[in-house]
Each structure stands twice: as structure tokens, then as C-alpha cells.
Structure 1
Amino acid sequence: MSTSLQIIIFFLVGLIGFSQENTFTNPLKSSGPDPYSTYDNGYYYYTNTEQNKLVLWKTKSLANISGAEKKEIWMPPAGTAYSNSIWAPEIHKINDKWYMYFAADDGDNNNHRMYALENISEDPFKGEWKFKGKISAWPDRWAIDGNVFHYKNELFMIWSGWEGNTNSQQNIYIAKMKNPLEIESKRVLIAEPTYNWEKQGDLDDDINPPHVSVNEGPQYLEKGGKIFIVFSANGCWTDYYSLGLLSFTGEDILNPANWEKHSKPIFTKSEENGVYAPGHNSFFKSPDGTEDWILYHANSNPGEGCANKRSPRMQKINWNQDGSPNLGVPVSEDTVLKVPSE
């Protein structure tokens, strides 16, 4: 073989390798409901619902999450109020400490509440994750899907909850936090299912009564001084699970009148692309900070509901002229995407 031909072959092989390392397709792994990530010191720390434990992944690129370093950080003891149905964990770094927020119950869904772990190590893969107890507002009601954020140097939590003690519908609440482990204000209702697209589908079983309307999975999003909450609507057991949008329009973030719900969903199923029930999302920036991305779960086939077939996916988002997020359409599993910009 001539030297020139060897050089060409070497170049082509290298080009193929480069292409594979810089592109990806969804889903990111075969299962992983409620995906969430935090970027710190060159690494993404990723987690998703595992039902009976809390697991953390560490990776330079979320596109490679299926092969990333993985660590079980906590499993609850049996027989407690938080031993079962561990849902929607989120990892946050606040005041140089790490916190993992999650929902759990004692085996009875009616008793779901929010809880937290704390780790004072610089690297959340090191040190000890300590259980710090329940996080609740007044009144103390059913609560899941907590998301924590800073606004004007103060800490707030948003979550999905019930108005009373029975499952008539799920609403979005907000409260001010005294510190990362305590809520100091009363909860404030800022969104409840009102439009028909938030009430599609029902299921009559022990967990989900018929015609239950759902707003859940709230996620804080800010861009250019504009503030939004993206939330999931409909039951996850339906193919109509989708994302809605709240826009903040005032100064007082605890005033319900300052939150405006958009009349139409902003991210829905795509039968053409083979993506069903897209929802329970989070957001992240590319490593170089120039791109905004959505991380979400979805099913590959209709009727797959809330089971472990929900798989994590991601795609870059854009912004509308009015400053609101444009999430586009869930891309197909055949669509080759460029990895986030480094």
C-alpha cells in the first residue's frame, strides 16, 4: 500500500471517529424518567428517577450519559415515610454545598412529600450524602417535583401539589425558602389546569382517579432578564403529556397575578417523529455557555404510559422574538444532532 493511500485511509477513519464523537441521537439511554443535570467545574452531574434509590452520573458530555461514571448515593431504610416511590430527583449546588431534592412516600401515594440530602464535599461523587429530612410549606400537603432557584438573591422552591388531602388535581405552587432545607413562607398557588389541553386523558386506578387534571414538573428558566416556568401537563399515563409555559410579568414573584399561563402547549408529542408523551424536562447550557438545551423524557411508542420505557432525550432550543422559549418539535430517533458546543 502506498504512503499516500495510507494517509487517506487514516484521515477518513479519523474523520468518522470525529463525527461519531461530535454527534448523537436520542434517546440518550434506554430508560430514565424525569432527567435533571447540573454543570459544575467541567462536569455534568445527572440524575433521574430510579424509584427505590438515588443515583448520580458524572460526565463531560450528556450525549455520553449511557457510558458515564455512575454512583448510587443513597438508598432509604425500610419502613419510613420516605422509603418508597422516590421520584424526580434534582441535584443543586447552593452556597458551595450539594443538595439532592426528591419526592418519596411510605408506600401510599397520598403521603408523597419532598425531602433532601446534603453533601458538603466539593465533588458530589465524594464525601457523604446525609439525609436532612422533609421540606414542606404551610399547609403541609401532598408534594412532588420540587425545583429550587434564586431570584433577587433569595431562594425559592416550586413544586406540584394538591389543594387538599385528596387527589382532585395537581397544581403548581411556589414558596420562599429560609435556607436550602427550610421553607419559610406559605405556599402560593400560581397555576392549575384550566385549558382542555391540560386535561386530556384519564385513568381509573388506585393512584390516578378518573379525569384528574395535572400540572407538574415545574422548571425555572431565565433568559435576558425574562423569567419563565415550564411545566408538564396531563397525566404521564397519556400520550398527551406535554409542556406548558408560565411567564413572570411583575416584580413580586409570590404574587399569583404576576404569572401568566400561555394558552397553548409549547412542546407536544410528534407522531410523525415517533415521540410520545414528551415531558418532565429540565434545562442546561452547553459547556461554553453559548447554547440552551432541553433535557426531557418521552416514549418511543403510543400507550407506553408512566413505565420505565420513558427515556431521556435532549435537543437545542431557540428563543422567540418576544423572549419566550421556542422548544421546537421532539426530534426523531433517526435525527443526528451535534453535541452541545464546547
Structure 2
Amino acid sequence: MTSLKNTLPLVMIVAAGTISPFCGKSGNNTPAPPPAADTTRFTNPLLGGSDPWVIQKDNAYYYMHTAGNRISLWKTNKMSSLAMATRKDIFTPATGAPNSANVWAPELHYLDGKWYCYYTAGAGPDVTQRTWVLENSSADPTTGTWTDKGKLFTADSDFWAIDGTVLEHKGKRYFLWSGRPNQAVQNQNIYIAEMANPWTLTGTATVLTKPELTWEVQGGPVNEAPQILQNSSGKVFMVYSASGCWTDDYALGMLTLKDGGNPLVATDWGKGQQPVFVKKPENKAYGPGHNAFFKSKDGKEDWIIYHANNNSGDGCGEKRNVRMQSFTWKADGTPDFGIPVTPGLLVKKPGGE
């Protein structure tokens, strides 16, 4: 929408022999040129989808989201132009296999010189959902061959294991995921375990957070979709989604690892008592969550990418869409995500684009 301060006044004094601007033509009767395209800004949503993930490597961004029956990968040099990127399907599970249904929340990580894709899938009913791993040794994950490395689990995490991600900290590697201890317990907790290699967990899993606060139990007790964020000093945060994704109150919470803390010790993580990113009805943002983080192309800005609904009651389905916005840091070194931006609002592109 054109700003009022840029419109012509309603009343003008026209000098003799001149053409009024309201004629819409120049003095030589040549049609006025169209307004220049805005090359510095973009609008949300980027595209339809849910559970977005993005990773940057070698001047390219690789993007994924939940597809349901396959794993797809987008490659782009500009996140603001994600909608124009070409999609490539990199994995379709065999019909009837234990990972053939409900393919959710894939994440791509570059570990030990290879690409690994962690994703959630099951045999049909939700209770069969587990975490699985794919491997690709190609420099570009949109090329080469993906090898199925099987299921990722420990003896105490082989029930309802979804939304996995990786933490690399002080020379060790850890896997975080959302799980339930057994079928009788509905709580979705967030767990962590050490990794022996990119497709194997070792040791005992630790519960990092349970849904216990009011804003974590709307529609059901849920903590899921853990994501790692570090500030410029190396301080580690774990941002997660809380409450049912089928509600308008799906939101982001945050844990902070104390300086010198052990990621496997739950008491070394401090849990924020308030959410850090919530719905904004006036901005058409309901249920914002299941996020990821990335840096702008020039490396100077931090961005959050997440899904949300435009309308109340749209639920946990195909009406969700993917949005991104920059965020800042508070004086104490913690992130300030602000409020969800309005769809259609012109937003400055990430630096370097």
C-alpha cells in the first residue's frame, strides 16, 4: 500500500502551458513508466508448509519442511526467494515399511564430512513414530545417493521419538528429540543423549524439560521441536515448541545452558517461566512455532524461520505457512524474537541478498 505521505495533494495550482499530473502522461505524451520493483524487501509467508528447517553451507541455503509421504529439499542462494527455488525429492520410503507414513520434520546436518538427514516417520498410527537417519557423502545434498542408516534410538527412547536435532558442544555431539516414556503417558518431553556417531546414540537419555507450565499444556501437555541457538559468546540456548500444535496457543519456550554446564545434566539448564514467542492475532499469526535459525548471507543478522496460521482455529494441518524474520539480542546475551510479523507486510531482505 502506498504511504499517504507519497501521494499527490488533492488540490494543485497548475501553471499555464503545463500538464497536470492527474492526466497520467508526460509532456511528450509518452506513457509514464511503471513503478520500479522493490528489490530490497520481501513479504511473508515464504510458502505453504510446516516444521521448517534451514542450513547454510558453501554460500547456499538448504531448506526442508514436513511433506508427509517423502522428504524434499530446496536449494537457494537467497532465503527471501525460497518460493522460486527448485524442489527435489531426496527420499521416498517403501510402502509398508516401518518408516513409510507420517514423514515429519526432516532436518539436514553436515557432520564428519557427510550430510545426514534426521526425520520422523512411522508405520501408520502416531504411536509408531520414531526417528530415522539418511546419509549422503556428496558435497551438494541435492546430488549423490542417500543411504538409509536406519532407526536412531537408545533402549529408553524407543517409543514416540520425534523432531530430532543435533547439538555440538565442546568437542562432543548430542541428539535432542521429543518423546513419550510409554503409551500410557501422554506428556511429550524433550530428551537428550550423547551420540557415538551420526547415526548411533550412546548412554542413557536425560529428560531436559516436561510440559508443566500453563502455556505448555494448552490442548495437551507438549514440549517438542527442540532447536539449538548460540550467541556470539558461545552461550547455548535450546528453543522448543509448547502446547498442542492444533491450538492457537502453540508457542516457543527456551532453556539456557549455564556456563560450563554439562548438556546431559538437566539441572544445568535453566528453564524460562514465560514463552519467548507467542501468537499475535492482529498480525494474523496463530500458533507460531516449530522453528529453526539461520544467519543472513552477509553473516551480520540472525533470523528465525517458523510456521504459523493466518486464522484462529486453522489447526495443525495444511493451512500452516512458513514465515521468517530477523531478531536481536538483549544486553544480557539472550535472544529477543519480538512478535510475529504480519503476512503481506514488506520486510527488509536478509543482509547480502
TM-score (normalised: structure 1): 0.91
Task: Give, in angstroms, the shift of residue 22 of structure 1.
Answer: 2.1
Give the structure 1 partner of residue 14 of structure 2. Answer: none
| Aligned equivalents of 2:183, 2:250: Cα separation in 1 | 24
Task: Give, in angstroms, the shift of residue 148 of structure 1.
Answer: 0.9
Task: Give, in angstroms, the shift of residue 157 of structure 1.
Answer: 0.7
Describe the SS at the equivalent of 2:188: strand
The alignment of Structure 1 onto Structure 2 pairs a total of residues equal to: 325
2:230 partner letter: E
Structure 1 residue ranges, 4+ long, deviating more than 3 angstroms after superposition:
none
| Aligned equivalents of 2:128, 2:285: Cα separation in 1 | 32
| Aligned equivalents of 1:303, 1:166: Cα separation in 2 | 28
Q: How does 1:317-336 map to 2 (within 5 A)?
A: 317-336=327-346
Give the structure 2 partner of residue 295 of structure 1. Answer: 305
Q: How does 1:1-342 map to 2 (within 5 A)?
A: 16-17=36-37, 19=38, 21-29=39-47, 31-139=48-156, 140-201=158-219, 212-223=220-231, 224-249=233-258, 250-342=260-352
1:327 partner letter: F
1:110, 1:166 within 8 Å by CA — same for their partners in 2? no
Give the structure 2 partner of residue 204 of structure 1. Answer: none
Task: Give, in angstroms, the shift of residue 95 of structure 1.
Answer: 1.6
Task: Give, in angstroms, the shift of residue 98 of structure 1.
Answer: 0.7
| Aligned equivalents of 1:137, 1:245: Cα separation in 2 | 25
- Show structure 2 runs of 5+ residues with no match: 1-24
Describe the SS at the equivalent of 2:215: helix
Task: Give, in angstroms, the shift of residue 138 of structure 1.
Answer: 2.9
Structure possessing the higher radius of gyration over alpha carbons? 2
State the identity as a percent.
43
| Aligned equivalents of 1:251, 1:74: Cα separation in 2 | 38
Task: Give, in angstroms, the shift of residue 163 of structure 1.
Answer: 1.9
TM-score (normalised: structure 2): 0.88
2:45, 2:344 within 8 Å by CA — same for their partners in 1? no
RMSD over aligned Cα, in angstroms?
Answer: 1.9
Task: Give, in angstroms, the shift of residue 72 of structure 1.
Answer: 0.5
Task: Give, in angstroms, the shift of residue 260 of structure 1.
Answer: 1.1
2:240 partner letter: F
1:138, 1:185 within 8 Å by CA — same for their partners in 2? no
Task: Give, in angstroms, the shift of residue 167 of structure 1.
Answer: 4.3
Task: Give, in angstroms, the shift of residue 231 of structure 1.
Answer: 0.2
